[in-house]
Amino acid sequence: MKPLSELSNLLAQLESQAKLKDQKYGEHHQALFDQSLFRCQAKQLHPYVNEAQSTLDRLAAQLKSGTETVHQAHYLSEKLICQIDAIKKELSSFQVRQQEHHIPSPKQSDLNRLYQHLAQHHEWELSLKNMVSQYEQEYRNATGREKALASQKLTATQRRLQRCQQAKLKIEKHITYKERNQ
């Protein structure tokens, strides 16, 4: 049961980080995660940490009572890992996403800064494309429940790539506008 207590400690740390982020930045404009990974569709992060804790509690209860099948335990374990991974990524990428949504207007920033934003988004786009390729490979090699989890990862990463590409187009439009109006 030691690994479960370590996971519980990790979730406690993630919850404190999530609450700080929620207090500082408030609600997001839409649900943070796909419904296939989390049942709740909150616009703040800490409810997702609570749901991951519930998944851990269900897994621990099943292991303790011995009522689970191997498939149930494997499914809950994989789901918990994906939930924790998603929460960690959200916490680490939040600042990046804030920058995507708050790109300075051309009046507030110079052309060099816009080009820096564009270069950064280009790097993120390449990284996300590599992740999509990796998750597509995992999906092709997966079987059964693993395929569903691989599909969730793939879909979430494809959505992140799409948001990145949209932000990149927005920056390119800002650059074009700035260059025409100087």
Contact 124, 96 (CB under 8 A): yes
Q: How confident is the model at residue 7 (pLDDT cuts 50, 70, 90)?
A: confident
pLDDT above 60 for 155:
yes
Task: State the DSSP H helix or E strand holding residue 152, giving kind and residue range, or none if neither.
Answer: helix 145-180
The CA radius of gyration of the chain, in Å to the nearest whole number, is 20
Would you place residue 97 in the very low, low, confident or very high pLDDT band (cuts 50, 70, 90)?
low
Nearest to 11 by CA among 81, 62, 93, 65: 81
Q: How far apart are CA 63 and CA 4, in angstroms?
A: 10
What is the pLDDT confidence band of residue 106, given thresholds at 50, 70 and 90? very low
Report whether pLDDT(95) > 70.
no
Closest by alpha carbon to 3, among 46, 56, 55, 54? 56
> Per the confidence metrics, is the pTM higher than 0.85?
no
Q: Could you report the per-residue pLDDT of 14-29, keeping only the tens digit for each? A: 888 888 888 877 777 7
Which of residues 71 and 107 earns the better pLDDT score? 71
Alpha-carbon dihedral 139, 168, 20, 30, rounded to 10 degrees: -70
| C-alpha distances out from residue 177 to 50, 56, 106, 166, Å | 45, 51, 8, 17
**Would you say 121 and 96 are in contact if contact means Cβ atoms under 8 Å apart?**
no
